[in-house]
A and B are shown apart, each in its own frame.
Chain A
Amino acid sequence: MKINKLPLLGGVLLLAFAGFTLASFKETITPYVAYDQARTLKRTVQVAGGLQPNSSDYDNERQALLFTLTEAETKETLRVRYEGVKPANFEEAISIVAIGRFDEGEGLLVAEKLLVKCPSKYMGTEMEEKVYG
């Protein structure tokens, strides 16, 4: 069997891989959504918002950080739980992006990853961001 007589098999394999990649892409993409969508979509999503003042609380028992996000324009709120190290200058965050899935039982978004934007004190005009999780 010569390799140049095998374009068919190769093509089929390539197509299969392309299909697999596309399916995986669709399945794993985490879209940016509004809070009401985050509550209804049964998948991992990203939400952004400001931290509601005095809403954060580190639960030592469960090793989890609980806080509330507020949508800047609509003033909607969303409770978030994040299990991990409390991000640096979390309280001063001007914007937080939480990537996770909504848990209907608990009525809150369980975040796998947080992205915290802080007004940077040493980066001058550049905004500083950090990824956690």
Chain B
Amino acid sequence: MSIFAQFFDHISTLYLPGAVALWCSLFFALAGLWGYSSALAGDAKSLAFGRRAYRLYALSILLTSAVLFLLLVMRDFRIEYVFQYSGLDLPFHYQFAAFWAGQKGSFLIWLLWGSLIGLPLIKTCGRKHEPAVMGIYLLTLLGLLLILVRQNPFVMLNEAPLDGKGLNPLLQDDWMVIHPPIMFVGYALTSVPFAFALSALWRRDFSDWARRAFPWALAGFLVLGTAILMGGYWAYKTLGWGGYWGWDPVENASVIPWLLGTAMIHGLHMERSKGRYRRANLVLACLGYLSVLYGTFLTRSGVLADFSVHSFVDLGISGLLLLLMGSFIAASIFLLATRLRFVPTGANEDPILSRGSFMVMATIVILLSAIVITVGTSAPILTRFMENPGQVGPTFYNQVNFPLAVFLCALLAAVPFLTWKGNEPREILRKLVPAAVFGLITTVAGVLLSVSNPFHLVFLFLAATALASNFQATVRKWRVGGSKLAGGYLSHVGVGIMLIGFLASSAYDESTKVTLEQGVAKQVEDLEMTFTRFIPRNGREKESMEVKVVRADGSSFFTYPKLFVNDRTRQLMANPDIRSFMTADLYISPIEYDPGAPASNVLTAELQRGGSQSVQEGEIRFLDFDLGAGGNATVQMESGGIVTIGAVLEYTTEAGSQKIMPLYRFNAAGQAQSVPRPLPGGGQVAVTGIDAQTGAVRLAFADIGYEEPGSTPTLAIDVTTKPLIQMVWWGLYIVMAGAAMATWNRLKQARILDDLETQGTIEA
């Protein structure tokens, strides 16, 4: 086959409106790259061309996404992607979730956000930076675009199925509609500081990249953090395994760039205020984006699937991903190695007890955390060539991050009272007294609440002290400058709260498994629990179990954990029900439901010809079928009429024997009816089924004095109390609120500086 024939063959399997839009975007991306690189080479006129090409490129990606979305909404099952992830019964708003349910769609949404982010970036990256920044930024997008061209989402099936396979029920959740796209905004944002850093290195111009990249870095931190928070919340509320964070590779892939982003925003803050960290920031900006690429490689290429640890299957893009990652790593290393020495830096003369030194140490701690998480996540690769390759679980991550968290808390506690110039230890200790008193009270409270591990108590003391000292600083700064200055400290307050929440909810949760009989109250720790009823399915509301809980103080409430079989997949799904209280969450997860059986006075038996069953004082023997009981059965069967078959039974007692013949009627449609016959000793016998193959008959004897006791329905549940878990969420909200305030402030600052620059007031 000629290459053209192959090409047309390929095209004929694609949905053209979408595929053409995708190819257009590739064309415009290359054109934009050409324009920007010519501009970089000195041809000033090319800049406008590059810019226009970029806008057309972004438009094409928008169109590509719109086409895929419309196909999903129209439920066009000819398209393989739509067939795989959508279905007729999928409600409208879950079509969004279907968009990013698969590999291809999630790459597309990432690319879409990245492309849209590029539009304001053109305006704000500064004229002299634009060619390099936008060129590099386009290169990062081009990588994703190549994956999509390779893994075209518009592949069509040979025929149009009537219905799609439907969306994974776990993804049919409101959180899943918003969590992944926000995560991808966060990922897309990491390539902005990366582009700025590489451009600065390339052009050896380190003057103002930090200022311009700062709001983007903050926004990335904010968005990624929000997405991680949502993911944790979704896992906690929906998945029912009892936690919010499992140190799963997918989760780690999002938290590593977030930690690196945290280190970077502190570094950028230092560079902006003190002209320090100039080299470190360039490295951190590179690491942030490279870690996103590495995470994508780990979770999408199938390197971990080999290990059968997680559900990532190689879809034929590992080579491409490896190539992309390799080239970006090589380019970063090359530029850092050759250009870093041109970065002007001053000698570090900070005393150890100064804000500058503490920030350096805190940054190192955060960086170390990112490194150990990377090491843990890479365990299957690192041990690949050993005798028994393996992986590490939550224990590893908790163990190694614990000392880092303790150290971080100590640094955080002192930071608000330190100055750039340096302080006397006595002065800092004196200023820390009120916060330390709060820390001490918290620790004593912890001891009273049976925290006995000395490491945990030290951690609790430092975290509470850090919380208090940063709270003091937030109030102080707020009084001086309102939201402009307080953002950073407010975030630190959130970190303190969050860390205490981590410790309490993970190390001090208590879990009990208990089987409840319907209607029977059972004491579970200090709660009285009763399984009151089973609530059948009602529309989209799944089957749930009503459990009444009476607390020690006499107050009571109902919980509704769900346990149901998904129609489409036949999978058993368990949704916990969670009640939040001031001090703890009550987490009730269903394990197993046994519907029980009603009491019965019917005895059933299946008899072969000649088989017998004792009934009352006698014995019933099945002799044979009577096919002539209602006209010739064979004739009736052939003509499609009603067939009547009798079962000839012999009832034998000491008094003698007698024949009984209950009848069984059925038609071709499979409808059946049985005609019972009275038994001599009272009660009745009926035929409830016939097995023509084995020649067996199923009999039911009623009212013969037989009693089968029923069993009550039972529900097995897992009851867990998670102390202070609310602090995890609230802590994160506060971190995010602080970061939002700082982002806003830095955006305003950047805009003011931009205005001054255009007016020619300051040198750029």
Interface residues of chain A, those whose CB is within 8 Å of chain B, are 1-4, 6, 17, 20-21, 24-25, 28-33, 37, 44-46, 48, 58, 60, 63, 83-86, 88-89, 95, 97, 99, 113, 115, 117, 121-124, 126-133
Contact = CB atoms under 8 A, between A and B. Distances in A.
Given A28-B399, A122-B165, 13 more contacts: A2-B349, A3-B350, A3-B351, A3-B352, A4-B349, A17-B368, A25-B392, A32-B307, A60-B716, A63-B515, A89-B570, A121-B165, A131-B241
30 contacts: A2-B349, A2-B350, A2-B352, A17-B368, A17-B404, A21-B400, A24-B396, A24-B399, A25-B376, A28-B392, A29-B390, A31-B388, A46-B390, A60-B714, A63-B515, A83-B513, A85-B574, A85-B590, A89-B571, A89-B572, A113-B393, A121-B570, A122-B166, A124-B84, A124-B165, A127-B311, A127-B313, A128-B311, A129-B311, A132-B241
Given A121-B570, A122-B568, A25 B388 contact: no
Contacts of A84: 591, 718
Centre residue among B399, B568, B594 by max chain A CB count within 10 A: B399
Interface string B351-369: 1100011001000000010
Contacts of A113: 393
A60 to B, nearest CB: 6
Contacts of B594: 60
A67 B703 CA distance: 41
Contacts of B158: none
A60 B311 contact: no
A121 B568 contact: yes
B308 interface: yes
A19 to B, nearest CB: 11
Interface of B: 84, 165-166, 168, 240-241, 246, 248, 307-311, 313, 347-352, 356-357, 360, 368, 372, 375-376, 379, 383, 386-393, 395-396, 399-400, 403-404, 513, 515, 568-574, 589-592, 594, 714, 716, 718
Contacts of B352: 1-3, 6
Contacts of A83: 513
Given A3-B348, A3-B351, A29 B383 contact: yes
A77 B360 CA distance: 55
A3 B246 CA distance: 38
Contacts of B240: 85
Nearest to B389: A32
Which of B347, B388, B389, B714: most chain A Cβ within 10 A?
B388
Contact of A60 (B248, B392, B592): B592
7 A-B pairs with the lowest CB-CB distances in the bound complex, closest first: A31-B388, A31-B390, A88-B571, A129-B311, A28-B396, A122-B165, A29-B390
A21 B308 contact: no
Contacts of A25: 375-376, 379, 392, 396
